[in-house]
């Protein structure tokens, strides 16, 4: 454990983390609401229509942030699982287990809003191209984590087995990202991950997308904070600090 | 206003996507809070059965 | 080696193994992961002409033909190297227009005409307001390449 800096140790202490998360959740929630509302207003009202898709392009403001978050949450989940596996930190497994349902919902949103966008523009709700298929695999990885974790009674073993699945599944993340470059797909290539020259040139179009994406990230942090607190209570219920906290409220 | 709601003929798709996103985002908060609340209830009950 | 270092190696090796296995599998199934073939690939015999497959390309401006009073239509697809004529008789997606990237699923006939059962529009990664698109059109050609 000596590699880890001191503040990590403190953060990894469940009672400390529990109180910290409790204090931060309302603020995270507030910031998320403000950013998401601002992003939605920018995307629906301020942004001009697209030269090809007209108003239909506004679906980008929910589709792209959901898709980004589906990948970001997976990376957080897999990193937490790896830390839990290697350093045997229980809180890390609690974080991984809390990420899974949230990530699954973001993946569902990315797929569903993509289908709603694809129908009028491409002419199909769904196609089996590499991008859509690999994103569907991501949903199954999340569901696989949840199912495997739920199927094993003893929590330590459930954490390790599901955590290993999460780590192995990281392989899918670059596949999703590069699918539009490695293979021919119906899905278009990335618009704004290209450093320096995003393909959305109008700031009135781009800025709401960035605000919305940051809003989704803060929202994720808030929901994660609530879930991890629940997860910690499930795991630490026999500890004295839990009864102290629950007795207080 | 009418024009805004109509979304250039894509009303069903645009509002459908935004509506679905709103529902899922709210649902996630509800589910997380319920999970925490039930964990607290379970922890209290288990404690009670210990002492 | 401490137990922690052993676990670190274990996790790393599992990830490495999964990565190599996946890369090999994707390489082996490369053909099946391609969503469409280009007119050049058809020309060079890479496309599976014996069965139904998808071709993708840009609709050549001025090549869209409609029979008056009939739903039958045809257009020419190009990848700026080779071209294929496509015949189609169903509803087109909103983004179908001349110069647009299109993917058609169907069979290649003896006469070299591709008869499509389904036509999907491919969007590129560029988003811009109409005024900007117009300005770009006047100076140079906008990014219509896929």
pLDDT tens by residue, B25-48: 999 999 999 999 999 999 988 877
d(CA B41, CA A156): 22
Q: Answer yes or no: is pLDDT of A248 > 80.
A: no
Contact residues for C94 (Cβ-Cβ < 8 A; gap 6+): A53, A56, A120, A121, A123, C121
Q: Answer yes or no: is pLDDT of A6 > 90.
A: no
| Portion of chain A with pLDDT greater than 70, in percent | 95
Kindly list the domain boundaries of chain A, sorted by start residue: 23-189+204-248
**A102/B28 touch (CB, cutoff 8 Å), yes or no:** yes
Nearest to A58 by CA among C1, B48, B13, C141: B13
pLDDT of residue A94: 96
Size of interface A-B (CB pairs under 8 A): 106
DSSP 8-state secondary structure symbol assigned to residue C19: H
Residue pair C116/C86 in contact by the 8 Å Cβ criterion:
yes
Kindly list the domain boundaries of chain C, sorted by start residue: 1-33, 35-125
Of A61, A219, A226, the CB nearest to B36: A226
**C127/A186 touch (CB, cutoff 8 Å), yes or no:** no
pLDDT of residue C145: 42
How far off is chain B from A4, nearest CA to CA, in Å? 29
- Enter the tokens of residue C82: 């080779």
How far off is chain A from C56, nearest CA to CA, in Å? 9
Q: At what angle do helices A155-169 and A60-87 cross, to 10 degrees?
A: 130
pLDDT of residue C132: 80
For the domain made up of C35-125, give the CATH fold: OB fold (Dihydrolipoamide Acetyltransferase, E2P) (2.40.50)
Q: E strands of A53-138, at which residues?
A: none
Please report residues of A whose CB lies closer than 8 A to that of B43. 233-234, 237, 242-243, 246
Predicted confidence band at A223 (pLDDT cuts at 50, 70, 90)? Answer: very high
Residue C86 phi/psi, 5-degree rounding, is: -120, 135
How far off is chain C from A169, nearest CA to CA, in Å? 8
Beta bridge partners of A68: none
Q: What is the overall mean pLDDT for chain A?
A: 91
pLDDT of residue C143: 46
Which chains sit next to B, with 3 or more Cβ pairs under 8 A? A
- With residue C119 as reference, give the H or E element that holds it: strand C113-122
Q: Considering only alpha carbons, which residue of chain A is nearest residue B15?
A: A59
CATH class of A23-189+204-248: mainly alpha
Please report residues of C whose CB lies closer than 8 A to that of A48. 129-131
pLDDT of residue C142: 45
* Span A154-160, average pLDDT: 95
**A189/C19 touch (CB, cutoff 8 Å), yes or no:** no
pLDDT: which is higher, A49 or A9 = A49
Lowest mean pLDDT among A67-71, A76-80, A210-214, C51-55: C51-55
Q: Answer yes or no: is pLDDT of A249 > 60.
A: no
**A51/C128 touch (CB, cutoff 8 Å), yes or no:** yes
Q: Answer yes or no: is pLDDT of A61 > 70.
A: yes
Q: At what angle do helices A60-87 and A90-121 cross, to 10 degrees?
A: 160
Nearest to C56 by CA among C41, C44, C69, C71: C41
pLDDT of residue A3: 61
* Span A65-76, average pLDDT: 97
Contact residues for C77 (Cβ-Cβ < 8 A; gap 6+): C39, C55, C56, C57, C58, C59, C60, C83, C84, C85, C86, C102, C104, C114
Contact residues for A111 (Cβ-Cβ < 8 A; gap 6+): A132, A135, A136, A139
Q: Does A233 touch chain B (CB under 8 A)?
A: yes
- Enter the tokens of residue C2: 């401490």
Size of interface A-C (CB pairs under 8 A): 127
3-state SS, residue A210: helix
pLDDT: which is higher, C112 or A41 = A41
Please report residues of A whose CB lies closer than 8 A to that of C94. 53, 56, 120-121, 123
| Regions of chain C short of the pLDDT cut 50 | 141-146
Beta bridge partners of C83: C78
Q: Considering only alpha carbons, which residue of chain A is nearest residue C5?
A: A86
Report for A16-30, A195-209, C67-81: range of highest mean pLDDT:
A16-30
Please report residues of B whose CB lies closer than 8 A to that of A226. 29, 32-33, 35-36
**A85/C7 touch (CB, cutoff 8 Å), yes or no:** yes
């Amino acid at each position: 454990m000596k590699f880890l800096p001191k503040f990590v140790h403190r953060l990894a202490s469940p009672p400390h983390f529990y109180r910290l998360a409790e204090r931060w959740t309302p603020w995270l929630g507030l910031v998320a609401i403000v950013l998401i509302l601002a992003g939605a207003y920018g995307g629906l009202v301020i942004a001009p229509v697209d030269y090809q898709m007209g108003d239909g392009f506004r679906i980008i403001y929910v589709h792209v942030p959901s898709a980004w978050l589906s990948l970001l949450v997976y990376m957080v989940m897999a990193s937490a699982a790896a830390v839990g596996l290697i350093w045997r930190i229980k809180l890390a497994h609690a974080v991984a287990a809390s990420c899974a349902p949230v990530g699954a919902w973001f993946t569902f949103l990315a797929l569903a809003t993509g289908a709603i966008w694809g129908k009028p523009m491409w002419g199909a709700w769904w196609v089996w191209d590499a991008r859509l298929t690999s994103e569907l695999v991501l949903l199954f990885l999340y569901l696989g984590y949840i199912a495997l974790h739920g199927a094993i009674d003893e929590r330590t073993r459930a954490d390790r087995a599901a955590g290993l699945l999460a780590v192995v599944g990281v392989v899918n993340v670059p596949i999703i990202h590069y699918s539009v470059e490695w293979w021919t797909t119906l899905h278009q290539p990335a618009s704004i991950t290209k450093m320096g020259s995003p393909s959305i040139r109008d700031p009135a179009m781009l800025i709401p997308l960035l605000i919305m994406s940051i809003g989704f990230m803060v929202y994720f942090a808030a929901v994660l904070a609530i879930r991890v607190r629940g997860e910690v209570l499930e795991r630490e219920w026999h500890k004295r600090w839990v009864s102290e906290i629950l007795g207080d409220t | 206003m009418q024009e805004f709601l109509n979304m250039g003929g894509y009303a069903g798709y645009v509002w459908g996507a935004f509506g679905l996103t709103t529902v899922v985002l709210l649902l996630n908060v509800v589910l997380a809070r319920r999970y925490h609340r039930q964990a607290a209830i379970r922890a209290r009950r288990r404690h009670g059965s210990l002492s | 080696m401490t137990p922690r270092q052993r676990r670190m190696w274990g996790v790393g090796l599992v990830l490495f193994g999964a990565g190599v296995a996946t890369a090999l599998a994707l390489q082996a199934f490369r053909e099946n992961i391609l969503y469409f073939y280009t007119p050049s690939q058809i020309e060079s015999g890479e496309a599976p002409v014996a069965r139904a497959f998808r071709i993708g390309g840009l609709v050549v401006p001025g090549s869209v033909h409609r029979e008056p009073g009939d739903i039958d239509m045809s257009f020419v697809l190009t990848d700026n190297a080779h071209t294929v004529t496509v015949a189609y008789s169903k509803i087109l997606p909103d983004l179908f227009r001349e110069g647009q990237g299109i993917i058609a699923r169907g069979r290649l006939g003896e006469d070299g005409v591709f008869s499509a059962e389904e036509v999907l529009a491919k969007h590129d990664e560029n988003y811009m307001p109409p005024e900007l698109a117009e300005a770009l059109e006047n100076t140079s050609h906008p990014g219509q390449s896929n």
